[in-house]
Amino acid sequence: MTAVNEERKAGFGIDPRDGKLMLGRFRIPMPRSRFGRVTLGVLLVIGGCLGFLPILGFWMVPLGLLVLSVDLAFVRRRRRRIAVWWAKRRPRDPR
């Protein structure tokens, strides 16, 4: 796979090369400080728990957990287990 194709590849997670949050084709920069990332993750999880309110949504919980997985090992382990489980149940690409 060439570097050009690698850049266009859609993904979900944290890009290990530049530390940006990947949501499909979108890349969102994350705070550089650990305190900023943990604060953002906690606020997203709390906002997601209030998802029944307008503007906030339940989509914020997994996004907050993804942001927290950068700095918190126990969240990172859970995310990795789910990623492995998901990869095993998804059919292989026939190419």
Mind listing the pLDDT tens digit for each residue in 19-67?
A: 788 877 888 888 888 898 899 999 989 988 988 888 788 888 888 888 8
Kindly give, in sequence order, each residue whose CB lies less than 8 Å from that of residue 74, ignoring residues fewer than 6 positions away: none
Does one domain contain both 7 and 52? no
Relative to beta strand 21-24, strand 11-14 is antiparallel
Cβ 68 vs Cβ 75: under 8 Å: yes
Domain that includes residue 85, residue range: 31-95
Segment (H or E) for 21 = strand 21-24
Under the banding of pLDDT at 50, 70 and 90, the label for residue 2 is very low
Does one domain contain both 22 and 36? no
Number of domains in the chain: 2
Point out which residues pair with 23 in neighbouring strands.
12, 26
What's the CA gap between 23 and 25, in Å, rounded? Answer: 6
